[in-house]
Every structure is written in structure tokens, then in C-alpha cells.
Amino acid sequence: MTTENEMTLLDHIRELRIRLFRSVTAIIVTTIVAMLVTDFVVAWLVKPLGGAPIIVLSPTEAPMTYFKIALTLGFGAALPYILYQIYAFIKPGLFHNERKTVILVLPAVIIFFVLGALFALQVLVPLSMPVLMGFFGSVVTTQYSLEQYLSFVSMLLLWMGLIFQTPLLIYVITLVGLVTPKQLKQAWRFVVLIAAVFAAIITPTTDMFTMLLVTGPFVVLYFFGILLAHVAMRQRAHRAAEAAALLEAD
């Protein structure tokens, strides 16, 4: 039997097939389980509408949306296991320090994404929807398509989940030597400007308050990322010292 370092291309293909099979199986199982709670999740997502009617525009819209939500929930529930399968597959090709970094970063990616999604659900969407529904309030009757509304909410969840990855991104690019904490501090004014422009693009409303709800967390996350950059610099220095010690020993 071959070891990790002696695995052939065929061995790698077999292992990849096994880990893909496990990942797909996990998604199927978690999606089936998620179907039990999909109704409750959708009811929770439409609460910001304040009782405004939700309509479907075709016979297949409701069932298709139901299965999309179930699949999304199932994928989210299976994601930690999928990430583990990815890590287990690439682990033989990583150095010891790289393995430690991956083990640290992967769970943090999930945690920060969930925090961003919760911020969108609990703060951004509830405060944005009344503003959106107020446009032409005396002229039009507000009714939303189920699929279009949930797509709108999903996009906000995705964007906020990605925005909340900012500290981890800063940590990683500092760890690999692309930036330094000093450079990050010097760029904070430019970052605030970019964050404001980005918030104006992705936020669903045009009011300043909603833009601040996106810009504010991003700026806070950026400065938190600078703290992580200092940690990354210390880790780089420690690794450099270890490498120098190994060279001297040789």
C-alpha cells in the first residue's frame, strides 16, 4: 500500500472520486433534512415585509423556490464537512505551517460568513424593506413575487457574508507578505471611500442610513483585519526564524 508521499496519479483520482462522492452524499442527506424546516425558514425570511402579500407568478414558482431554499440550506449545513473533505485531499501536499493556517482559516470563513448573513437578516433587510416599500406608497399596491423577493434577500446575504470575510482576507495576504500593517493603516481613508461607493452599489435603498449599515461594519472589519495583520506578521517572523535555524543546522 502506498503512503501519502508515494501516491500515484491514479491513487489521487480515486481519492478525489471518494471525497466527491462523500460530499455529494452529505448534500443530499442535509437537503432532505432541510426540507423539513424549509417552510419555517421562508416564513422567517418574509417577516420584514410586515404582512405584505407574497404572490407566485407561475404554477412551478412555489415548488421550484421550495427546493432551491432546501438545497441552499442543505449545502450550507454540509459545507463544514465538504471543506473538511477538501482539506483532507490537499493535506498531503501542504507543509506543516500551511496545514495549521488552513485549519485556522477554514472554520473562521464559515463563522464570519454566518455572522455577515445574520447581520443582513437581522439588521439590513428589516430596515431596508420599509424604505423600499414606501416608494410610491400612495400610488401602487406592494406585492412581491416569492422567487424575486427571496433572490433579493439571498443576494444581500451573499454580499454581507463576503464582506465579513475582510479580516480573514487581510490576515492571509499579510501572512503571505503582500501587505504590511503599516500599509493597511496608511490606506484606511481610501478604504473608507471605496467602502462607501461599494455600499451605494449593493444596498437596495438610496438613503444614507442604509448605506452606513453596510459601510460601518466594513470599516470596523477592516480595522479588525489590521489587528489580525499584526498577528500574521509575528507568525511570518517566527516562521522565518525557524527556517533560518534549520538552514544553520544543515
* Domain residue spans of the chain: 1-133, 165-250
Looking at mean pLDDT, say which of 78-87, 194-203, 231-240 comes out highest: 78-87
Whether 226 shows a pLDDT value over 60: the answer reads yes
pLDDT at 206: 59
Q: Which three cell numbers stand for residue 21?
A: 462522492
Which of 12-21, 25-34, 201-210, 228-237 is the least confident region? 201-210
Q: How far apart are CA 109 and CA 87, in angstroms?
A: 14
Per DSSP, which regions of 72-179 are E strands? 144-145
Q: DSSP of the chain, one letter per residue?
A: ---GGG--HHHHHHHHHHHHHHHHHHHHHHHHHHTTTHHHHHHHHTGGGTT--EE-SSTTHHHHHHHHHHHHHHHHHHHHHHHHHHHHHHGGGS-HHHHHHHHHHHHHHHHHHHHHHHHIIIIIHHHHHHHHHTTTTTT----EEHHHHHHHHHHHHHHHHHHTTHHHHHHHHHHTTS--HHHHHHTHHHHHHHHHHHHHHH-SS-SHHHHHHHHHHHHHHHHHHHHHHHHHHHHHHHHHHHHHHHHHH-
pLDDT at 12: 79
Whether 64 shows a pLDDT value over 70: the answer reads yes
161 close to 116: Cβ distance less than 8 angstroms = yes
154 close to 122: Cβ distance less than 8 angstroms = no
Q: Which three cell numbers stand for residue 185?
A: 493603516
Q: What is the mean pLDDT of residues 207-223?
A: 81
Whether 151 shows a pLDDT value over 80: the answer reads yes
Average pLDDT, the chain: 85
Confidence label for 63 from pLDDT (cuts 50, 70 and 90): very high
Q: What is the mean pLDDT of residues 142-165?
A: 88
Confidence label for 221 from pLDDT (cuts 50, 70 and 90): very high
Whether 1 shows a pLDDT value over 60: the answer reads no
Q: What is the mean pLDDT of residues 40-66?
A: 89
pLDDT at 66: 93
Confidence label for 3 from pLDDT (cuts 50, 70 and 90): very low
Confidence label for 137 from pLDDT (cuts 50, 70 and 90): low
* Closest CA relative to residue 132, chosen from 214, 39, 205, 237: 205
Summarised one tens digit per residue, pLDDT across range 182-209 is 999 999 888 888 888 877 777 655 567 6
Q: Is 13 exposed, middle or buried (0-12, 13-18, 19+ CB in 10 A)?
A: exposed
Residues paired with 19 in a beta bridge? none
Q: What is the mean pLDDT of residues 107-125?
A: 90
pLDDT at 126: 87
Handedness of CA 165, 171, 173, 175 (dihedral sign): negative
Q: What is the mean pLDDT of residues 56-81?
A: 92
Q: How far apart are CA 249 and CA 109, in angstroms?
A: 37
pTM over 0.85: no
pLDDT at 141: 77
Q: According to DSSP H, which parts of 46-95 are helical? A: 61-90
Q: Which amino acid is at 28?
A: I
Q: What is the mean pLDDT of residues 208-217?
A: 77
